[in-house]
Amino acid sequence: MAVLDNNTMPTIVVKYGGAAMQSESLRAEVMADAVALMRSGVRLVVVHGGGPELSDLQKRLGLETRFVDGLRYTDEATVEAALMALAGKINKGLVTRIQAAGGRAVGISGLDGGILLCKKKTEPDLGFVGDVVQVDSALLVVLLDAGFIPVVSTLGLGEDGQVYNVNADTAAGRIAAALGADKFVVLSDIPGVLRDKEDAASVIPVIEADEIEDLIASGVVAGGMIPKVRSAAEVVASGVAEVLIADGRVRHALARAAAGETAENTGTVIRR
């Protein structure tokens, strides 16, 4: 595992996904913010999901989109579609946006350089969905040292050579921990962690990491938010100072997050 020298330039890992990726204008703005941060001296890694795009491609290919307990089931055909959608169209689209904004980016996946080593997830059994067992960040460090923004799709490789689909929140958090990042920012399509799911203004501004399991048990944190906050807890336990779950639909959300500020009701900070 290669760790950056954080005494030189700050390092931020950004997980970008959800409906925040669906708007072309917002996507261009987020990538322009990424370039501005890079020019200001921030080392930036963008890790992306792409569930909606994958579902759309499956539909166009005539493949069934199957979910188990709300989680995508990945069969062999879905793995092939994920390679096309995540490591292909989405990844290269983000690279193109960064370069159009004047930045330098390299699009890779967790397969490249053995970044994400996985084993099959068994509970629940979701087919070819993997749990990350090891992160090798050497390739990311090489790219960062050369002045590039690595753009990473979350496909991982098993020891047997099997390609696995990996939860993007979890993978991004593990990458942030492996790099010893200063901050981990999750840009999604929600204002933050809500105390009342029916009230977008009920954002919890700060959560201590040791409160997370109680919030899950009480039902305040549920569904797709669970892997986000659990990943956040693991990240801060690894030494990353804080995680920000922010609303990627808000203009310049990434720039605000990097500066340590959020608009009203648009972010939750998780810290030790």
pLDDT in tens, 244-257: 998 888 888 888 88
Across the range 233-249, mean pLDDT stands at 88
Q: How far apart are CA 239 and CA 198, in angstroms?
A: 34
Residue 272's pLDDT is 82
Candidates 18, 93, 107, 130; catalytic one? 18
Q: Is 51 a catalytic residue?
A: yes
Cβ-Cβ contacts under 8 Å for 254 (sequence gap 6 or more) = 14, 30, 33, 34, 37, 185, 187, 246, 248
Query: pLDDT grade, residue 19 (50/70/90)?
Result: low
pLDDT in tens, 94-127: 999 999 999 999 999 999 999 999 999 988 899 9
Residue 258's pLDDT is 82
263 pLDDT above the threshold of 80: no
Q: Is 192 a catalytic residue?
A: no
Residue 191's pLDDT is 84
Candidates 228, 247, 248, 267; catalytic one? 228
Does 237 or 225 have the greater pLDDT score? 237
Report whether 193 contacts 149 (CB < 8 A). no
What's the alpha-carbon Rg for the chain, to the nearest Å?
17
Query: Smallest Cα–Cα separation from 176: which of 257, 106, 234, 125?
Result: 234
Cβ-Cβ contacts under 8 Å for 88 (sequence gap 6 or more) = none
Residue 4's pLDDT is 47
Main-chain dihedrals φ then ψ at residue 135, nearest 5 degrees: -120, 125
Query: pLDDT grade, residue 3 (50/70/90)?
Result: very low
pLDDT in tens, 128-178: 999 999 999 999 999 999 999 999 999 999 988 999 999 998 999 999 999
Residue-averaged pLDDT of the chain: 89
Residue 20's pLDDT is 66
Candidates 51, 103, 130, 173; catalytic one? 51
Does 248 or 60 have the greater pLDDT score? 60
Q: Is 120 helix (H, G, I), strand (E, B) or coil?
A: strand
Q: Name the helix (H) or strand (E) containing 268.
A: strand 267-271
What pairs with residue 14 in β-bridges? 46, 185
Under CATH, what is the fold of the domain 11-271?
Answer: Carbamate kinase (3.40.1160)
Q: Is 15 a catalytic residue?
A: yes
Structural domain boundaries of the chain? 11-271
262 pLDDT above the threshold of 70: no
Q: Is 33 a catalytic residue?
A: no
% of the chain exceeding 90 in pLDDT: 59
Report whether 130 contacts 121 (CB < 8 A). yes
Candidates 49, 107, 112, 169; catalytic one? 169
pLDDT in tens, 26-37: 888 999 999 999
